Structure 1
Amino acid sequence: MFRKGLFLLVLVLVHQSLFGQTDWTLKSDKNGLNIYTKTVSSTGLKGIRVKCNLPAKLSQVVALIMDVDAGGEWVYGTKSSYLLKKVSPSELYYYSEVDIPWPISNRDFIAHLKVSQDPFTKVVTIDGPTEANYLPVKPHIVRVNRSNGKWVLTPTKNNIVQIDYTLEVDPGGTIPVWLVNLFATSGPEETFKKMKEQVKKPRYANANLNFIDNQ
């Protein structure tokens, strides 16, 4: 069955940059979750952008995203996710394997997450480019060689965080375009639904990050 793995399957199938472009098409607007797509290559592959509001403090959301060992609990399609190196409280490297339905090979990637906050607006940006050569390639898994995910977290009144998430990736290998496009909204809906519940857990709700100003 087409189930686990489809969210990240969609997200890792972007061949050209998603940033600095304006031709997004709203594909889904349900329960406060806006999912946009656009064609980003001549093959018809879709890019994904997700916008939503999350009832939480900035420190909660950042703590959740940086808790990479727990990625399998809420990020749709994550077979495994674990910390490789913690450079500082606001910077780390982690490994993740994406579960993709047979007969397509799973993908994996090593991401470098780095958090920054604008001292005036308090907007938090989390960049996550890949470091493909950080670890040797594993047998029977296709390594994602080029990727750059980006979270933009904007605080508003009453502890509401506006989330704007985009991702650009060259996934390598061959994956049917119809499979990507068919599930262009299913995965994000599942992930952000789980994110809203995950962020309520005590380890995030009580997070105190000295590099994040909650206002």
Structure 2
Amino acid sequence: MATVIGTTGDSPSETIARPRSRLMRLLRLSTYLLAGLVLFIFLVNLLWKASGDNQWHLEFERNGVQVYSLKEPGTYNKRFRALTRTDYTLTHLVAGLIENATLDNCLNSIPDCVDLKVISPWDSKTMSDTVLWKLGLPAPFTAREIVIRSQVSQDPVSRAVTIDVIAAPNSAPRNPDAIRLTHVQNRWIYTPKENGQVEIEFIQDMDMGGTFPRFLLNLAGAEEVYKFIHDQLPQLLDKTELRGVRYDFIKEA
């Protein structure tokens, strides 16, 4: 009696070829889907970069802190701006910048800070200093180094104090174990108001560099700026040693 190979009469080679053909179709389909996904992501990024009206928009107001965001056409990252009022003096607020540039303060008061080096100490003639901060990031991201030059100025009429915090990436040798940030253009503005209060305005404009996802900065930026102003800043300022500091170059209103 003859042995039956297949109910349809297919040869063994045809029986093996069918699964291979289906596999090839699946591979081609996967390639098309992947190419389509890449194209979609590219178009979304292109549209996002072109978007924006260069205007500040209120994200939220919470516990006396207003947080705004601004998207400029041609850029990926949003800028963030926080406004609040405080009873600290102008001198106390400036001291929070100058006197807190220490390794102990870095390790104990700044989240993710793992190292600090003063590159150029505070100089009352240039009204500036340059400091290197090193921040640890969760895996798989590489640590970041931020070398910033802080420049202080005061308007002689309004007595408002402006502190420009600008990246100075070439002010210190590069560390192969960290990514050096090259775009930081932050600004503090302390403006005297009625009843002895001071308005604090903080503008954050920075890029984390490397492969750090920019959309995370855009999504979490407003909340992180709020936490910095509402939670971390008071810890940096509420120190007894800062209350007795006096500077000849800062005039109170």
User: TM-score scaled to structure 2, two decimals?
Assistant: 0.69
Shift of the alpha carbon at 1:71? 4.5
Unmatched tracts of structure 2, length 5 or more: 1-48
Distance 1:129 1:178 in 2: 22
Q: 1:181 and 1:22, CA in 2 relative to 1: closer, same or farther beyond 3 A?
A: closer
Note the alpha carbon deviations across 1:6-30, whole angstroms, 9 max, x for none: xxxxxxxxxx9xxxx8512211210
Match 1:83 to one of 81, 101, 118: 118
Does the 8 Å contact 2:82/2:226 carry over to 1?
Answer: no
The verdict on how the C-alpha distance between 1:115 and 1:72 changes in structure 2, with shifts beyond 3 A counting, is farther
The one-letter code of the counterpart of 2:131 is Y
For the structure 1 residues 181 and 145, does the alpha-carbon distance in structure 2 shift closer, same or farther, using more than 3 Å as the test? closer
Distance 2:185 2:117 in 1: 18
- The gaps in structure 1 that reach 5 residues or longer are 1-15
Paired position in structure 1 for 2:44 = none
Stretch of structure 1 that moved more, 21-30 or 100-109: 21-30
Match of 2:204 among 167, 181, 184: 167
Query: Relative to structure 1, is the Cα distance of residues 76 and 35 closer, same or farther in structure 2, using a 3 angstrom cutoff?
Result: farther
Q: Which residue in 1 is equivalent to 2:242?
A: 204
3-state DSSP class of the match of 1:104? coil
Question: Does 1:46 pair with 2:81?
Answer: no
**1:45, distance to aligned residue in structure 2 (A):** 3.0
Q: Does 1:62 align with 2:94?
A: yes
Counterpart residue type for residue 165 of structure 2: G
Q: Which residue of 2 aligns with 1:134?
A: 171
CA 1:68–1:41 in structure 2 vs 1: closer, same or farther (change >3 Å)? Answer: farther
Query: For residue 86 of structure 1, what is the amino acid of its counterpart?
Result: P
Q: How many residues align?
A: 196
Higher relative contact order (CA 8 A, sep 6+): 1
> 1:34 — aligned with what?
66
Partners of 1:78 and 1:25 in 2: CA distance = 30
- Does residue 124 (structure 1) correspond to residue 156 (structure 2)? The answer is no
| Paired residue secondary structure (1:183) | helix
User: Does the 8 Å contact 1:75/1:191 carry over to 2?
Assistant: no
Which structure has the greater CA radius of gyration? 2
Q: Which runs of 4+ in 1 moved over 6 A?
A: none
State how far apart, in whole Å, the 1-side matches of 2:141 and 2:191 are.
37
Higher strand proportion (structure 1 or 2)? 1
Give the corresponding residue for 1:112.
Answer: 149
Q: Quickly say closer, same or farther: Cα 1:196–1:158, change in 2 above 3 A.
A: farther
Distance (whole Å) between structure 2 residues aligned to residue 210 and residue 38 of structure 1: 36
